[in-house]
Amino acid sequence: MSLGRAIGRGVEGLKRDADSRGVHLRARDQSGFGMLELLMAMVMLNVGILAIVAAFSSGNSALARANRISTAGALANKQMEVYRGIKYDNIVFTTTEWNSAIADSTYTNDTVYQQNMLSPTAPKALVGTVTNCPANVPANACDPSYTTTGADHRSYRVDTYLYYDTPSFGNQLRTVTVVVRNPADLTRTYSRVTSTFDPSTGA
């Protein structure tokens, strides 16, 4: 509607009909939509990539921990196999290494030490120490606490606990518990293995 024809009709006269050609053309105008759609696509893509990266990171952490637990278990079993291969009387600690171990709060705070070795009551008792490791016995078997390198080339701390126990109507046993920890975080235990030995293994 022209301005001349609209004079005297107020503001209403200046408005275009909703179905006029100009309104339809503006409604169909696509300018600017390409950039908006691109930005939305980039945001969605970034969200997806971040989710995938987080999943991979979590998976890698789980695999690394599983690998460390597996290696620690192998070290604990290896230590226990040493005791299974020596005579009953040779399952002992040297005095020097024992004194060093019990000066370490991590070693003495373990539940095995607290419940069975700190103040043992009959039939439990401490196994006496020796000055030197018995002949043909690996040095690590006489050391209650040491650090070693696993197959994964990482460091592990191996703590061994040893005490006497006597089951009802049975022979006196030597109980051995091997605990493998993370030396960088001693509160983290990777493996724990316990076995008993009786005099039938030989003196």
**128-152 pLDDT, tens digit each:** 999 999 999 999 999 999 999 999 9
Q: What is the mean pLDDT of residues 167-182?
A: 90
Asked whether residue 70 carries a pLDDT value surpassing 70, the answer given is yes
Q: What is the mean pLDDT of residues 151-162?
A: 96
**86-117 pLDDT, tens digit each:** 999 999 999 999 999 999 999 999 999 999 99
Residue ranges in 103-187 assigned as alpha helix (H): 105-109, 111-116
Confidence of residue 4 (pLDDT cuts 50, 70, 90): low
Entry pTM: 0.71
Asked whether residue 23 carries a pLDDT value surpassing 70, the answer given is no
> For the chain, what is the largest distance between any 2 Cα atoms, rounded to a whole number of angstroms?
124
